[in-house]
């Protein structure tokens, strides 16, 4: 297992690039240690995917690095699309409860409209984060290639959207809560999503740029929310 320019391995503790994650002796795998921090390069290679997802939901930077650089991302893309559908249904239900989507459209154009809106927001935040990366580390970006960095940014956005799993309780118990409780739940999920986005992006960047990148990511998130607020009505009027 050797490193390459397309998908380099990294130490999940410090982000240092490494040549291999483990050595294989007969039928036994032995994890390697990072040359920089002297810790186990990637403990998650021996973990189940479910445990790694739980750690990502708990905002563990090590889990973020493993998923982005060292893990098999195919299963996470599948989870991402499940979360996309869940978020779209939650948004559609929220608009229906607030009277912005008629009942006759709830399971038809209303849901499709919300799905398209969410996809548009994912693409927008991915573009903004890619732009931030070009501003902060243009030389590094050119060194490893635009396609490689684009793939990393898409993974960051996909991982951060795991936070939308927490929308499930409000869908199940929405009839047993008040408008204030519902809005509070959405606010907490949004806050967790923002923290996840910041930490996932930081896991791909140099530590000396942490505070600067955090400011840029929060700014990009604010722009995305601005886009959500001022385009939602136009999109709804087009589809409904």
pLDDT-derived band of residue 1, with 50, 70 and 90 as boundaries?
very low
User: Checking DSSP bridges between strand 17-18 and strand 22-25, what pairing results, if any?
Assistant: unpaired
Q: Is the pLDDT of residue 4 over 50?
A: no
Say if residues 52 and 63 touch (Cβ distance below 8 Å).
yes
- pLDDT of 191 > 60? The answer is yes
Tell how far CA 28 is from the center of its chain. Answer: 33
Q: Is 40 helix (H, G, I), strand (E, B) or coil?
A: strand
37-71: per-residue pLDDT in tens?
Answer: 889 999 998 888 889 989 999 999 899 999 998 88
Q: What is the pTM of this model?
A: 0.83
- Predicted local distance difference test score (pLDDT) of residue 63: 92
- Angle among Cα 26, 29, 35 to the nearest 5 degrees reads 125
- Taking the chain, what is the end-to-end CA distance rounded to the nearest angstrom? 53
Q: What percent of the chain has pLDDT over 70?
A: 84
With cut-offs at 50, 70 and 90, classify the pLDDT of residue 233.
low
pLDDT at res. 235? 55
pLDDT at 119 over 60: yes
Please tell me the predicted confidence (pLDDT) of residue 18: 87
Q: What is the DSSP string of 43-83?
A: GGGGS-HHHHHHHHHTT-HHHHHIIIIIS-THHHHHHHHHH
* Per-residue model confidence as pLDDT tens digits over 141-189: 777 678 888 888 999 999 999 998 898 888 777 777 787 888 888 899 9
pLDDT of residue 80: 86
| 26 vs 71, more confident | 71
């Amino acid at each position: 297992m050797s490193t390459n320019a397309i998908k380099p391995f990294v130490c999940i503790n410090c982000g240092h690039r490494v040549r291999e994650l483990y050595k294989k002796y007969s039928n036994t795998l032995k994890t390697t240690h990072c040359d920089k921090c002297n810790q186990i390069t990637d403990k998650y290679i021996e973990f189940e995917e479910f445990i790694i997802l739980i750690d990502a939901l708990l905002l563990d930077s090590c889990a973020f690095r493993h998923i982005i650089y060292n893990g098999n991302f195919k299963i996470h893309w599948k989870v991402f699309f499940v979360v996309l559908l869940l978020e779209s249904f939650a948004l559609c239900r929220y608009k229906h409860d607030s009277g912005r989507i008629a009942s006759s459209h709830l399971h038809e154009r209303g849901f499709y409209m919300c799905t398209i809106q969410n996809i548009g927001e994912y693409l927008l935040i991915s573009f903004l984060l890619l732009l931030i990366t070009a501003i902060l580390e243009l030389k590094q970006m050119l060194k490893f290639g635009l396609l490689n960095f684009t793939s990393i940014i898409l993974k960051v956005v996909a991982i951060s959207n795991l936070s939308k799993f927490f929308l499930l309780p409000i869908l199940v118990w929405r009839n047993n809560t008040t408008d204030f409780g519902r809005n509070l739940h959405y606010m907490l999920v949004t806050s967790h999503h923002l923290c996840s986005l910041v930490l996932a992006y930081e896991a791909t960047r140099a530590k000396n740029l942490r505070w600067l990148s955090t400011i840029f990511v929060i700014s990009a998130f604010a722009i995305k929310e601005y886009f959500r607020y001022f385009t939602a009505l136009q999109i709804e009027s087009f589809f409904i």
